[in-house]
């Protein structure tokens, strides 16, 4: 067993080195094919930057799985994943060059997800929940699986706003999924966490070129690919899902899911289309509060690590402890979100309650406001 692990580590290291070598080549290719970002109103970069850097991660991942780990990973398992991911990568690459509409990007992701569902047969078939028992999803299996993949893919794409942010958060999330998978999946499917660690090694080789100050961007090519792969890998333990297996990946992916959910809430409250862009995402808010570029990224890494630690605790906790973990984590997250103003300064219900209980002067001010409004109505 020790020799097997040693062999795996050596091959993962070679995957990392290969990614280090391939990334500069892809950087030059990106300029040649017109995949680059010029400075603009919604861009952080101040000079023309090559994008589509995610191509290097995809190529290295595919090569490593099919060649370097061919004796360990079943071909009939990995080929559909590489094919489905390839469709998503192609969609992202076209968007990086020509800019696709949200509907066309969604179509590309859904096509890749259909390959995962029907060819790879990675899906949610049933759920076992407290008080409800075992529920066979039947026809709901397809829409729920597609929704999961589409939601996570877009969530990772949304946080790709600062140098190294999406790639770093992906490394943290995938490593956590891989560790949990290694200890909780059946021994016969040990190749699943190995595939996850291959992806981590592929991202790690790209990361030095992507961290601040970046020399190459992930682009939609990389952000969509990483989101898609995280969604697919997190589905591995959800075939016959329980409450624990459903909630664990959601906690691990707490940063992108939180940013996406609050973006939707924010746009609905402001009566704007959900697909509309704004500069109120988590990284934007941290920058507006005075964080440096690197400081904002490191803060979000820290938040992602907290979520991962909670997910690891959750995997070992009892039912009561799990519920308490969820409740206190949710309260802490909501407080953090309100403090940085992710939804807006006028929408801070938890901070309002805390001020009401802890600040007598604030209570008097609120009472006077209400009395003033009441007298005006009269």
How confident is the model over 310-338, as a mean pLDDT?
Answer: 76
357 pLDDT higher than 80:
no
Name the more confident of 122 and 342.
Answer: 122
Rg (alpha carbons) of the chain, rounded to whole number: 22
d(CA 178, CA 195): 9
Tokens 């061919």 identify what position?
70
> What mean pLDDT do residues 71-81 have?
95
The two three-digit tokens of residue 125, written as one number? 């078939």
> For 245-266, what is each residue's pLDDT tens digit?
677 888 888 888 888 887 888 7
Rounded CA gap, 344 and 285, in Å?
Answer: 10
pLDDT at 261: 82
Q: Distance between CA 225 and CA 229 in Å, rounded?
A: 6
Domain locations along the chain: 2-320
Scan for tokens 């997910």, then name that residue: 311
8 A C-beta contact, residue 177 and residue 234: yes
Alpha-carbon distances, residue 358 vs 335, 348, 355, 363 (angstroms) = 15, 15, 5, 9
Structure confidence at residue 46 (pLDDT): 63
What pTM value is reported for the model? 0.87
Q: Is 50 left (phi over 0), alpha (psi -120 to 50) or beta?
A: beta
Q: Which residues of 303-338 are buried (b: 16+ CB within 10 A; e: fewer)?
A: bbebbbebbbebbebeeeebeebbeebeeebbeebb
* pLDDT at residue 283 in the model: 83
Higher-pLDDT residue of 79 and 361 is 79
Q: What mean pLDDT, rounded, does the chain reach?
A: 84
Three-state SS at 261: helix
SS3 237: coil
Task: Confirm or deny that 160 is annotated as ligand binding.
Answer: no
Lowest mean pLDDT among 113-127, 191-205, 328-342, 357-371: 357-371
Residue 343 has pLDDT above 70, yes or no: no
Exposure string over 100-135, b if 16+ CB within 10 A, otherwise e: beeeebbebbbebbbbbbeebebbbbebeeeeeeee
Confirm whether residue 136 is marked as ligand binding: no
Is the bond preceding 213 in cis, omega lying within 30 degrees of 0? Answer: yes
> What does the alpha-carbon distance between residue 209 and residue 215 come to, in Å, rounded to a whole number?
5
| Half-sphere exposure at residue 300, Cβ-oriented, CA atoms within 13 angstroms | 35
Give the model's pLDDT for residue 56: 96
Q: Give which of 160, 229, 244, 232 is closest to 199, Cα–Cα.
A: 229
Task: Determine how many CB atoms are found less than 10 A away from the CB of residue 365.
Answer: 12
């Amino acid at each position: 067993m020790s020799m097997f692990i040693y062999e795996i580590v050596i091959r993962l290291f070679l995957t990392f080195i290969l990614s280090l070598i391939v990334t500069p080549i892809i950087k030059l290719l990106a300029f040649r094919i017109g995949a680059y970002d010029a400075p603009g109103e919604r861009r952080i970069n101040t000079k023309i930057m090559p994008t589509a850097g995610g191509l290097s991660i995809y190529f290295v991942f595919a090569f490593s799985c099919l060649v370097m780990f061919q004796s360990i990973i079943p071909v009939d398992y990995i080929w559909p994943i590489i094919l489905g991911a390839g469709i998503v990568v192609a969609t992202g690459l076209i968007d990086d060059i020509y800019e696709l509409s949200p509907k066309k990007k969604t179509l590309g992701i859904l096509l890749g997800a259909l390959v995962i569902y029907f060819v790879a047969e990675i899906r949610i078939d049933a759920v076992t929940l407290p008080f409800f028992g075992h529920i066979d999803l039947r026809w709901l299996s397809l829409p729920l699986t597609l929704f999961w993949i589409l939601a996570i893919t877009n969530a990772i794409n949304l946080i790709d706003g600062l140098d190294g942010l999406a790639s770093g958060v992906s490394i943290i999330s995938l490593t956590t999924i891989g560790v949990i998978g290694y200890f909780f999946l059946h021994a016969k499917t040990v190749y699943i966490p190995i595939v996850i660690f291959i992806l981590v090694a592929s991202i790690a080789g790209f990361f030095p070129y992507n961290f601040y100050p970046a020399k190459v961007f992930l682009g939609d090519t990389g952000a969509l690919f990483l989101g898609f792969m995280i969604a697919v890998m997190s589905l591995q333990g959800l075939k016959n899902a329980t409450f624990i297996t459903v909630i664990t990946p959601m906690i691990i992916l707490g940063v992108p899911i939180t940013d996406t959910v609050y973006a939707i809430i924010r746009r609905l409250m402001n009566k704007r289309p959900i697909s509309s862009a704004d500069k109120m995402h988590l990284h934007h808010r941290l920058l507006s509060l005075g964080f440096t570029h690197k400081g904002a990224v490191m803060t979000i890494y820290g938040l992602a690590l907290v979520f991962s630690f909670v997910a690891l605790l959750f995997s070992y906790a009892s039912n009561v402890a799990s519920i308490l973990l969820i409740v206190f984590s949710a309260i802490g997250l909501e407080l953090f979100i309100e403090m940085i103003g992710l939804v807006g300064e006028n929408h801070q219900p938890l901070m309002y309650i805390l001020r009401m209980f802890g600040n007598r002067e604030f209570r008097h001010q609120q009472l006077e406001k209400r009395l003033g409004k009441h007298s005006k109505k009269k």
